[in-house]
Structure 1
Amino acid sequence: MEMLPLQARTQELWSERNPGLDTSAMQVVALVKRITVLLDRAVEPVYDGAALTTAEVELLVPLRHAESPVTAARLADRLGMSRAGVSKTLGKLEKRGLITRTVNPADRRAAPITLTPEGKDVIDTVFPRELEAHTQLLAGLGTDRQRVVDALTLLAETMDSRLGQATTPTPPKKP
């Protein structure tokens, strides 16, 4: 997968106008953005008329099999999302009865979050459909799948280390 012609031309123009500027990162960033758009496009049909948005599913998936209640701050950190965005989305989910937040008298910001039975039913319906859309989209990788996972893991770990963070879990290697 190469850069799209417009992206390649943009990189070329920046290099011409500013020869000292290292434009090599543009290729990686353009591909990551393109992949993100393609993933979003693949799941659009899943969310057309669904009871949840992609952002809500992203929050509910880790809650679905959590062995103990999770706080909003911990959820935001684990997912690499803003705490404000997580709090806003959790508020919507709570109003719809999909999660509960128990007030922690010691620290109001550390309210444990759990899925309600309705929340479990909804995520159990929507997430498998999203996963199937991703599976279909990536089916063409075949035997190259592990190579792609390794390359993406390297990318994530490199970016984490450059930012001084090590929050991205390394996926287990498949045989």
Structure 2
Amino acid sequence: MEKKHDSVDVIKREFAQTLPGVDVGAATITGRVRRTNFHLNRNAEEVFNSFNTTGASFDVLAALYAAGPPYQMTPTDFYRGHMMSSAGVTARLDVVERAGLAARSRDPRDRRGVIVTLTKTGQKLVRDVAQALYRRQAFVQKVYTERERRQVLNLLKRLLNSLERLGSGTTLPDYQAAIGPWVREFPALDPWLVEFLLVIAMLTGRINRETDRLLHDLNVSRTAMIILAALRRSGDPQRLSPSELSQAAMLSSAGMTAQLDQLEERGLVRRSPHPEDRRALYVTLTRPGQKLVDKAIETYNAGHKRMLSGLASSERQALDILLRKLLIALEASNGAKPSKD
């Protein structure tokens, strides 16, 4: 039987039942962008595994490749322009350098600085992986009609442009600079697919950064917010199992345990034995947790509404329908696979 709903439809229904006054319209669109990117990344993991590499390593190699000959960047370029932390950049560079895919050397312009260069082996790997990635994701083209493909890409690019103007105080990759090398390097591939995959990834990065900024003053992380919101909308007694929360937050069991440890330490959730199975646990939202998440939901929804202010109401509706169509196909294909994070 053809799937008629996506996971965001379920979230909307739960909010309507438990918090009917909450407007989640904008958050459904940004949520579909993020979930689409999540499933596309899941597909990409299959490709990375076949080349004995990881998404984290490929991000570094792809950034170097996109810089163009001589394929060089400084570590500062990575964490300023490619959504990576300083510590994260160092760890990733250690991995790709050990694999002979990149090399660090002294910056001739600054003896205290370092230059990272993509090796010939690294260049070949990027080309081979990119070709395989596009083959793996090519089914996306079949989800949409030709008219829908043009429409969804145009709307996503306009949303990306409006988010660039909104800004979060962080330098992020320029769209044209990011897309150009891939279109030039792979002329035989459909440029629509190349652009679509990149714009979804870049939009997700911008949405995440802006969401982090919104939640900063509440001292709650994006993932913690998702967990608390799942409990809040679950209805009385606002109680779910760790596995249900893992599915809601797209986290692995280990990742969820770590998150729940932090939330319980802050007194925002409470874990207790299942009344009928003492080997199982329930997670319950506490009063302080409910108070915090109600503020966070209000801040989150208002902020995401601002993110979409560059699109007219009819355009937001059209984008929502198009993203929903793809997400239904992705979830039907991939199933509910939690993240390894």
TM-score computed with the length of structure 1 as normaliser:
0.80
Contact 1:101 1:112 in 2 (8 A): yes
Cα deviation for residue 76 of structure 1 reads 1.1
Whether contact under 8 Å (1:14, 1:23) holds in the other structure is no
Name the structure 2 match of 1:118: 288
How many Å apart are 1:24 and its aligned residue? 5.2
Give the counterpart of 2:208 among 34, 40, 48: 40
1:6 alignment partner in structure 2? 177
- Alignment partners' CA distance in 2, 1:23 and 1:102: 52
CA distance in 1, matches of 2:196, 2:304: 21
Q: Deviations over 1:79-129 (max 9, x none)?
A: 322222112101110111100111237353x31111000100111112211
Distance 1:86 1:12, change over 3 A: same
Structure 1: gaps spanning 5 or more residues: 168-175
Within-5 A mapping of 1:71-86: 71-86=241-256
- Which residue type is aligned with residue 151 of structure 1? L
| One-letter amino acid of the counterpart of residue 49, structure 1 | D
Hey, what's the Cα distance between the residues in 1 that align with 2:223 and 2:250?
12
Question: Once the 2 structures are TM-superposed, how far is the Cα of residue 22 of structure 1 from its aligned partner?
Answer: 6.4
Q: How much has 1:53 moved relative to structure 2?
A: 1.1
The equivalent residue for 1:98 is: 268
Higher relative contact order (CA 8 A, sep 6+): 2
Distance 1:73 1:39 in 2: 26
- Matches of 2:227 and 2:241, distance apart in 1: 11
Equivalent position of 1:153 in the other structure: 324
Could you say if the C-alpha distance between residues 107 and 15 of structure 1 is closer, same or farther in structure 2, counting changes exceeding 3 Å?
farther
User: Which residue in 2 is equivalent to 1:170?
Assistant: none
Please state how far the C-alpha of 1:157 moved relative to its aligned partner. 1.5
* Structure 1 counterpart of 2:146: none
Amino acid at match of 1:80: M
Between 53-62 and 154-163, the greater mean CA deviation after superposition: 154-163
Structure-1 residue corresponding to 2:227: 59
Distance 2:217 2:321 in 1: 35
In terms of fraction of residues, the more strand-rich structure is 2
SS state of the match for residue 97, structure 1? coil
Q: How many residues align?
A: 162
- CA change 1:136–1:22 in 2 (3 A) is closer
Letter in 2 for 1:141: L
Matched residues in 2 for 1:43 and 1:160: separation? 24
Q: Distance in 2 between matches of 1:128 and 1:32?
A: 25
Measure the CA separation in 2 of the matches of 1:61 and 1:131.
12
Q: Deviations over 1:46-95 (max 9, x none)?
A: 22332311110011001013234210111112332222211210111011
Could you tell me how far apart the structure 2 residues matched to 1:12 and 1:66 are? 45
Aligned to 2:46: none
Letter in 1 for 2:244: R
| RMSD over aligned Cα atoms | 2.4
**Cα deviations by residue, 1:23-45 (Å, 9 ceiling, x for unpaired):** 75332221111211221232343
1:137 positional shift:
1.1
